[in-house]
């Protein structure tokens, strides 16, 4: 399936926090979000702000140094990131279609990125600010992987769910789904696609 194809997502009756945005479900028509700025220039949906702040403060209180390196993105910003990735792959010899399809596995096509919802944050360890799988081995990520659900966040793209999410393993990408859903997802070992489908 080419990047950006699929259906328009709709806000589920269960609540705004379970909006499914992925390669097969793009943002709903007319989607908008009320943002609340973070201290570092990032911003998130105001409804998840308090839980995010509590999670970050508790992580720091555990002696760790979490750093939010990405949060809400505009359509234009997502387009820029996606085009850049396609360009890199094209310069490596991939055809335009192959580069577009491959790019979508690591950078969501515009309109299909959770970052555009204001509910997703990329968090790294300040001592290892690199977006690669080794991020999972940092003390900060271990704490977040084990505790983020208590604050309503889930590790959105686990290594064992790439065949379902369509996105490569990202041990830095956390998505707000609300505390009740996060608890169930954590306890049942699900990804968001599986959880939404079960409702």
Active site residue 193: no
DSSP characters for the chain? --TT-SEE----TT-GGG---BTTEEPPTT----EEE-TTS-EEEGGGHHHHHHHHHHHHHTT--EEEEE----HHHHHHHHHHHHHHHHHTT--HHHHHHHHTTTSPPTTS-GGGGT-EEEEEETTB---SGGGGGSHHHHHHHHHGGGGTEEEEE-GGGHHHH-S--EEEEEEE--HHHHHHHHHHT--HHHHHHT-
Q: How many helices (H) and strands (E) does the chain have?
A: 7, 8
Closest C-alpha among 191, 197, 159 to residue 175: 191
Q: Which of 29, 46, 114, 170 is catalytic?
A: 170
What is the C-alpha separation between 31 and 110, in angstroms, rounded?
Answer: 13
Cite the active site residues.
170
């Amino acid at each position: 399936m080419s990047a950006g194809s699929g259906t328009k997502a709709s806000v589920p009756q269960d609540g705004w926090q379970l909006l499914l945005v992925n390669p097969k479900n793009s943002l709903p028509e007319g989607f908008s979000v009320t943002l609340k700025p973070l201290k570092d220039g990032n911003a998130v949906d105001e409804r998840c702000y308090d839980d995010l702040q509590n999670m970050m403060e508790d992580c720091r209180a555990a002696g760790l140094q979490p750093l939010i390196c990405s949060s809400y993105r505009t359509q234009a910003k997502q387009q820029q990131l996606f085009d850049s990735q396609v360009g890199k792959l094209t310069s490596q010899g991939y055809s335009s279609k192959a580069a577009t399809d491959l790019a979508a596995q690591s950078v969501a096509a515009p309109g299909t990125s959770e970052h555009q919802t204001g509910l997703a944050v990329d968090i790294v360890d300040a001592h290892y600010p690199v977006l690669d799988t080794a991020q999972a081995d940092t003390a900060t990520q271990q704490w977040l992987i084990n505790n983020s659900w208590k604050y309503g966040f889930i590790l959105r793209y686990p290594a064992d769910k790439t065949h379902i999410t369509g996105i490569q393993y990202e041990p830095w990408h956390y998505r707000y789904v609300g505390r009740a859903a996060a608890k169930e997802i954590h306890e049942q070992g699900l990804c968001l696609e599986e959880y939404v489908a079960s409702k």
